[in-house]
Amino acid sequence: MRIKIRKKHMFKAVFLDRDGTLIQERHYLSDPEQVVLEPTVIDALQLLRRHRFRLIMVTNQSGIGRGRIKLRQFLAVQRRLIDLLAPHGVFFDDFYYCPHHPTEARDPYRKFCHCRKPGAGMLLEGIKKYRIEPQYSYMIGDKRADVEAGYNAHVQPILVKTGYGSNYSGPAPGYVADTLLAAAEYIVARETKERF
């Protein structure tokens, strides 16, 4: 009985990379006007929401530490992304960013941190805060660091072929999807299968 009650209060999540996954890759994006959603993003996030996945964005933003982007510019871009999704009933439960870089960033951002992907720090923080079961959760991204962060957090990594995804080399992800919607459909199909 105790186990059942506990289960009821656990959640599943999809962790999402930002650049090349949710929005088009731009070198050190600082202008909210340049935020363009990748194709199928709205349909994909709506599908995951309907299946009660928590949505948590996790993004490396060493541009902040390097002095290429101001924190307020990063937040303005985030605001723009939220505003593009909100009319479609889609929202993130949370978002995490890593401003650090081990060698290229300025103080106090120059350090070996656990949050920079492929580190699992941002995912582990979300898992803890939102009581997420890694076993039923996913990390979707377009780079090796995303796939490795997924494995490091013990969630299933999915590679999308948007962004840098078509030039991927690294450990085999759990699944490769052409679009975010294809990734979401894979997740939902897998979940349905598990139930039987």
Binding of Mg ion by 20 (CB under 5 A) = yes
Give 134-156 as a 3 state SS string.
HHHCEEEECCHHHHHHHHHCCCE
Choose which of 19, 40, 132, 156 interacts with Mg ion (CB under 5 A).
19
Nearest CB to Zn ion, comparing residues 110 and 161: 110
Please choose which of Zn ion, Mg ion, none residue 176 contacts, taking the beta carbon within 5 to 8 angstroms, the exact cut-off set by kind.
none
Give the per-residue contact string, 133-162, with Mg ion (x = CB under 5 A; - = no).
---------x--------------------
- Residue 107 known to be catalytic: no
- What are the φ/ψ torsions at residue 21 (nearest 5 degrees)? -120, -60
Binding of Mg ion by 17 (CB under 5 A) = yes
CA distance 44 to 26: 22
> Please, are residues 117 and 57 in contact by the beta-carbon 8 Å criterion?
no
Identify which of 44, 30, 12, 5 has the alpha carbon closest to the alpha carbon of residue 186: 44
Choose which of 12, 54, 101, 116 interacts with Zn ion (CB under 5 A).
116
Give the per-residue contact string, 134-173, with Zn ion (x = CB under 5 A; - = no).
----------------------------------------
Give the per-residue contact string, 91-130, with Mg ion (x = CB under 5 A; - = no).
----------------------------------------
CA distance 117 to 45: 22
CA distance between the termini of the chain: 22
Give the footprint of Zn ion on residues 83-102 (CB under 5 A).
98, 100
List Cβ neighbours of 76 (8 Å cut-off, separation of 6 or more).
32
Q: Interface with Zn ion by CB under 5 A: which range of 86-94, 113-121, 127-135, 179-187? A: 113-121
Neighbours of 195 (CB within 10 A): 5
Please give the positions annotated as active site.
17, 19
Contacts with Zn ion, residue ranges (CB under 5 A):
98, 100, 113, 115-116
